Amino acid sequence: MSKSAPDLRSFSFVLAVPDLERSASYFRDALGFRLEWPEGSDWQLVSRDGVRIMMGHCPDAIAPSATGDHSYFGYLNVSDANALHDEFLSKGAIILQPPADKPHGMREFVVATPDGHRMMFGQDLSVTKPEE
């Protein structure tokens, strides 16, 4: 009897942040995440749809902005990159690159956190959206 490989299931990204309250507020106010641990002291979990991000208070850690390309922590698939970009922009999110079609068939944009963590949002252009 052969054993199948264990399933991997997405749980969350983990970020070290110097100012937990500022980071949690940014994810809530600018990116539309919900604070899951509102009473958290050294940890905060934020969520939006199926995405969860755990933030740990690490005031003495190297700043994400000092790590260059290593500051990217996630690539998140979205159904409508333009609409999400517009939502983020209207709420004051830090947009580093606006939506653009890429040769690999994705429409992508880049968002940063106040600390310099970066995440890419991408829409698969081969998937057609239903008529509205």
Domains and CATH numbers, the chain: 13-59+71-124 (3.10.180.10)
Contacts of 65-73 spanning 24+ positions with Cβ under 8 A: 65/115, 65/116, 66/116, 67/116, 71/112, 71/116, 71/117, 71/118, 72/118, 72/119, 72/120, 73/13, 73/15, 73/117, 73/118, 73/119
pTM over 0.85: yes
Q: In a structure prediction context, what are the per-residue pLDDT tens digits for the chain, which is 132 residues long? A: 567 888 877 778 999 999 999 999 999 999 999 999 878 789 999 999 989 999 999 999 999 989 988 899 999 999 999 999 999 999 999 999 999 999 999 999 999 999 999 999 999 999 866 554
